[in-house]
Chains A and B, each alone.
Chain A
């Protein structure tokens, strides 16, 4: 095959791999935003903590992967509940306060992790045989499919949950008119706790899944946290399909640019990202927005 085509296809596949990770992270951001109006800047750090918790069970305590996975989701969901309790007074305030509050929580989580688990990180073996398939000189890692599959499943589940269940409806409602929701009998506090629990579990899920691809360490959160956020925005903040689309587009964009000008990939990816935003101010799929005055 023409080497250019090979390079293109291979980086496309790499982009889908990274993109699905961004998508998973983006889902968490969007879910929390849509159901409690919170832009959670600690999401990246919760992602890291989730990955650590799971990894500690899986690698250090030799539990099986699925059990470790479940435990990570559960414990991280608990962490989400605690975070919500702490930040409760900020619920009604401007974006910027929530942003700073969650940033503060992120700093605490980040550095507590360094203290608890050390700065070095843990390498995680793949839970399945990840020997890549070679198709015409292009290698496809089976584990990528797992991630893509899980992301797809989650998006469907979340979509159903938010759009078809009463709790989901109430969550979305509470994010918009808090007082009215209370008057209609919704326990908004509890709902927000649940939201952050689910959001955190999503982060843990992403963290746990990417552990083998990355390497679990305290600094795994930074770039994924930002790029995941960018992905969520790119797709349309708060939209579940948007998170997937945004994640994939951002991942592929990054890789494609990297084949051309490798050191400049981030610069160009972000510039393109901003240009897209200027033309589609509420993302590709689009956040649900009202433009009536």
Chain B
């Protein structure tokens, strides 16, 4: 579904991604691990067209999408939960959710999805008329996930979706991801909670300073002793 070839990303002089190649198959959950500053978020942003790829290519369902205008990608079916939530602080919770459905025109589908999100995160429903900026950190994170669900993507990119969430909610987020996976959605997941991520994922890549250091089956990686020591703490 997604294929990245030899991706190069720079911020000014900083070489953040140094020739990364990865693929995501239809219906698969792929997880991206790596310590801080490894370049995970940069890769995701580049897929979404928010950061420019200096070298390499990205194709989505066989179509080249390298450096496509980001606003065209939603229509291709790419949904994105960014790092740091990026909710709209001055819009109400409900308005925030509706921005996710900007490209959609099916009123019935939208309201159904809205209900679905409210069901996942009841707190969002009680707070639907509150300015999102006034939500607590974790509530904002739920909102960011909810908003991405409303884009109803067939390929979902998640950048640390569990950050700042209470353990029970983390579990819930992963349950949701699992449901989505079971419904056939393709997911690219960046997570610091490596245990959860590897449990969920089919395959995973480990990124070190802009390069892929390890890749493979999630189960295999879980057994790799370096991964265990550094990312799983065992």
* A and B in direct contact, judged by CB atoms within 8 A: yes
Partner-B contacts on A (CB < 8 A) = 166, 169-170, 172-173, 176-177, 179-188, 288-292
Chain A residues, Cβ within 8 Å of B72: 185
- Are A177 and B102 in contact (CB-based, < 8 A)? no
- Are B74 and A173 in contact (CB-based, < 8 A)? no
- Are B91 and A185 in contact (CB-based, < 8 A)? no
Chain A residues, Cβ within 8 Å of B50: 179, 182-183
- Are A173 and B86 in contact (CB-based, < 8 A)? no
Instruction: Tell me the bound Cα distance from A181 to B71 in angstroms.
Output: 8
Q: Does B231 interact with chain A (Cβ within 8 Å)?
A: no
Residues from 120 to 173 in B contacting A, C-beta threshold 8 Å: 131, 133-135, 147, 151
A-B contact pairs, 21 of them (CB 8 A): A166-B102, A169-B91, A169-B95, A169-B99, A170-B102, A173-B99, A176-B89, A179-B70, A180-B86, A182-B50, A183-B80, A184-B74, A184-B100, A184-B103, A184-B147, A184-B151, A185-B72, A288-B131, A290-B89, A290-B90, A290-B131
- Are A176 and B91 in contact (CB-based, < 8 A)? yes
Residue on A nearest B92 in the bound complex, by CB: A288
CB-based closest 7 A-B pairs: A290-B133, A185-B74, A182-B70, A185-B103, A180-B86, A176-B88, A183-B80
Instruction: Tell me the bound Cα distance from A182 to B99 in angstroms.
Output: 11
Residues from 72 to 112 in B contacting A, C-beta threshold 8 Å: 72-75, 80, 82, 86-91, 95, 98-100, 102-103
Given A176-B91, A185-B72, A289-B90, output 11 extra A-B contacts at Cβ < 8 Å: A172-B90, A176-B89, A182-B50, A183-B48, A183-B71, A183-B74, A184-B74, A184-B151, A288-B90, A292-B133, A292-B134
For chain B, the count of residues having a C-beta within 8 Å of the partner chain is 30
Instruction: Tell me the bound Cα distance from A181 to B99 in angstroms.
Output: 8
Most A Cβ at <10 Å: residue of B91, B135, B151: B91
Instruction: Tell me the bound Cα distance from A288 to B80 in angstroms.
Output: 27
Q: Does B49 interact with chain A (Cβ within 8 Å)?
A: yes
Partner-A contacts on B (CB < 8 A) = 48-50, 69-75, 80, 82, 86-91, 95, 98-100, 102-103, 131, 133-135, 147, 151
Most A Cβ at <10 Å: residue of B75, B90, B98, B151: B90
- Are B91 and A188 in contact (CB-based, < 8 A)? no
- Are B86 and A179 in contact (CB-based, < 8 A)? yes
- Are B88 and A185 in contact (CB-based, < 8 A)? no
- Are A177 and B151 in contact (CB-based, < 8 A)? no
Instruction: Tell me the bound Cα distance from A67 to B16 in angstroms.
Output: 57
Chain A residues, Cβ within 8 Å of B102: 166, 169-170, 184-186
How distant is A163 from chain B, measured CB to nearest CB, in Å?
A: 9
Chain B residues, Cβ within 8 Å of A170: 99, 102
- Are A185 and B75 in contact (CB-based, < 8 A)? yes
- Are B133 and A177 in contact (CB-based, < 8 A)? no
Instruction: Tell me the bound Cα distance from A292 to B130 in angstroms.
Output: 12
How distant is A182 from chain B, measured CB to nearest CB, in Å?
A: 4
- Are B86 and A177 in contact (CB-based, < 8 A)? yes
Instruction: Tell me the bound Cα distance from A180 to B45 in angstroms.
Output: 10
- Are A173 and B71 in contact (CB-based, < 8 A)? no
Instruction: Tell me the bound Cα distance from A152 to B88 in angstroms.
Output: 29
Instruction: Tell me the bound Cα distance from A56 to B143 in angstroms.
Output: 52
Residue on A nearest B90 in the bound complex, by CB: A288
Instruction: Tell me the bound Cα distance from A177 to B135 in angstroms.
Output: 17
Instruction: Tell me the bound Cα distance from A179 to B51 in angstroms.
Output: 10
Chain B residues, Cβ within 8 Å of A187: 69, 71
Instruction: Tell me the bound Cα distance from A177 to B50 in angstroms.
Output: 12
Residue on A nearest B133 in the bound complex, by CB: A290
Cβ-neighbour of B82 out of A172, A176, A180, A186 (below 8 A): A180
Instruction: Tell me the bound Cα distance from A178 to B207 in angstroms.
Output: 28
Instruction: Tell me the bound Cα distance from A177 to B99 in angstroms.
Output: 11
Instruction: Tell me the bound Cα distance from A188 to B75 in angstroms.
Output: 15
Residue on B nearest A291 in the bound complex, by CB: B134
How distant is A76 from chain B, measured CB to nearest CB, in Å?
A: 27
Chain A residues, Cβ within 8 Å of B87: 177, 180
How distant is B14 from chain A, measured CB to nearest CB, in Å?
A: 18
Chain A residues, Cβ within 8 Å of B90: 172, 176, 288-290
How distant is B219 from chain A, measured CB to nearest CB, in Å?
A: 32
- Are B73 and A183 in contact (CB-based, < 8 A)? yes
Instruction: Tell me the bound Cα distance from A173 to B87 in angstroms.
Output: 9
Cβ-neighbour of B71 out of A177, A186, A291 (below 8 A): A186
Instruction: Tell me the bound Cα distance from A181 to B70 in angstroms.
Output: 9
Residue on A nearest B137 in the bound complex, by CB: A292
How distant is B57 from chain A, measured CB to nearest CB, in Å?
A: 20
Chain A residues, Cβ within 8 Å of B82: 179-180, 183
